[in-house]
Copies of this chain bind each other. A is one copy, B any other.
Amino acid sequence: MGRPRQHGTETRDQLLDAATRLLATEGFGALSVRRLSGEVGVSSRAVYSVFGGMPGVLGALYRRAADVMNEHHEAVPRQEDPLAEIVELAFAYRAGALAQRDLYGLYLERAVPTFCPSDEDVAYAVRAHLRARQAFERACADQPGVDPARATIQMWALLHGLCSLEIGGMLAGMDGDVEAVWQNAVNSMLRGLFPVAR
């Protein structure tokens, strides 16, 4: 009953694509309801029909960012040695973040003051940690006294800090060899967490 929805999934996808494109080319400043709708060729009201408002758009972008992070993690092959897998997952984290620098700001930094992800959004987002968590579970199996949950969080903090600093241009002065900083940092943390193993 009532008028059927004119703006369905395809309008939704078009809007999100436009948002992602705008974000990548012009940053958050260009992200507005009017700009988005104009880009796709629908009325600004359509954004409210599909997403309920700007927070809805940001929430969808947030989940899209989480999806990309998850895909990068899942692309890492499972390995016998959990520590080797953790290192690869770390670089997958970096690749996922750098592939969507602005969206990463929405994902884990508070890049849009008016947006705060809901509890469901957060729960949806942290599932990307599952691979890392599993690897740490295995690594901690023969290392009594090391809590896998805590170890995962610690590594996450390091990775997030590295991403945040790199995206913010704070690692630019490191002789250009940012990758070496990453390698060294991840190895140091693992050495500190599992001193016996290596």
Once the chains bind, are A110 and B185 in contact (CB under 8 Å)?
no
Once the chains bind, are B156 and A165 in contact (CB under 8 Å)?
yes
Within the complex, the shortest CB–CB distance from A173 to chain B, in Å, comes to: 9
Q: Is A4 an interface residue when CB atoms closer than 8 A count as contact?
A: no
Once the chains bind, are A108 and B28 in contact (CB under 8 Å)?
no
Residues of B close to A161: CB separation below 8 A = 156-162, 164
Once the chains bind, are A111 and B110 in contact (CB under 8 Å)?
yes
Residue numbers of A with Cβ under 8 A of B are 27-29, 105, 108-114, 122, 126, 149-150, 153-154, 156-162, 164-165, 168, 170-171, 174, 180-181, 184-185, 187-193, 195
25 A-B interface contacts by CB (under 8 A) = A27-B113, A28-B113, A29-B113, A29-B114, A105-B110, A108-B168, A108-B170, A109-B110, A150-B181, A150-B184, A153-B174, A153-B185, A154-B188, A156-B165, A158-B161, A159-B161, A161-B164, A188-B189, A188-B192, A188-B193, A189-B189, A189-B192, A190-B192, A191-B191, A191-B192
